[in-house]
Amino acid sequence: MISEFGTLPDGTPVREVTLKKGALEASILTYGAIIRDLKIDGQSVVLGFEDLQSYLDHSPYFGVIAGRCANRIAHGNMVVDGKTYQLDRNNGAHHLHGGAAGFSHRNWDLEQSDKASVLLKIVSEDTDMGYPGRVEALVRYTLTGAGALRVKITATTDQTTPVNLTQHSYFNLDGSKDILDHNLEIAAETYLPVDETLIPTGEIRRVEWTPFDFREGRKLRHKTGEDAVQYDHNFCLAAAPRQTAEFAAALEDRDGERRMEVWTTEPGLQLYDAARLDIPVPGLSGRAYGAHAGLCLEAQRWPDSVNQKEFTPVLLQPSQTYSHVTEFRFS
């Protein structure tokens, strides 16, 4: 079902597409390619808003597709094919999620839709937010018969440019005030330490004997005597993108009654625990969203890869097609 969700300040209508299959129901917006709501048996498991103005004024990337390059690029500086580029600096001194007018803040074109899937398209012209090259990107959201939401993203370019897209939903599987008692498992042996501005230091550190060890599953709430970490870090799943989606993470609600697995082709998974979340307007069904109201599991290339030679490849060539598949599997 397609309906109008609101109108942007320039008069452009934003449409909402409702998908349904089995126990899953998803509401997708053309603005930001946002997953506005995702329900399992009628229970919302993501954070979102009921109106467009709240997204324009208050959204911390709720449910968006972030790009052209997700996560942070140090000082917005990069060198591509020997030429230096200055990107939009929208996160203090740094570039975040494609800039102030990145893919998450644009209205995508609705290309196709049916009862269980929707295809959206965006075109980013040369010099957009400082990036070289014209990029065309497609995202298809599909509800599968196996109880999953599949996100498939492709992109092409006419010049060498970094492309790194991610789905940025905040998950809370039981509607509790916070997710600190959710149990999280991440299939990563290493993670990327960051500086005080959340830029990776360049070190690739083992998770063993640290609060970043989620290999066996653990609650987000810190144990007594453990360092209090605010998670906004990349976990290293692989050295490069994979050909097929592999298990990356699992999240269970506090009672262990609902489980979500993340399977992805991407080599990194950014865990953001929303410790700084403080939304001044109501969310879905009037809920208040404060610190730790949800968490993000963002499948992507490693942050600042364009500036870190030891990190994952992130440059897309005109002869290539960027491809990304992430599935959120529920049980």
298 is catalytic: yes
In angstroms, the CA 191 to CA 251 distance is 18
DSSP 320: -
Residue type, 227: D
Q: 84: closest CA among 326, 330, 307?
A: 307
- CB-based contact 279:257 (threshold 8 Å): no
324 is catalytic: no
CA-only gyration radius of the chain, Å: 19
SS3 285: helix
* Helix ranges (DSSP H) in 206-287: none
- Please identify which of the residues 185, 252, 266, 298 carries the catalytic annotation: 298
- CB-based contact 273:232 (threshold 8 Å): yes
- Please identify which of the residues 97, 105, 168, 182 carries the catalytic annotation: 168
Tell the residue number behind the tokens 């599949």, with chain if given: 150
Show which residues are catalytic.
Answer: 168, 298
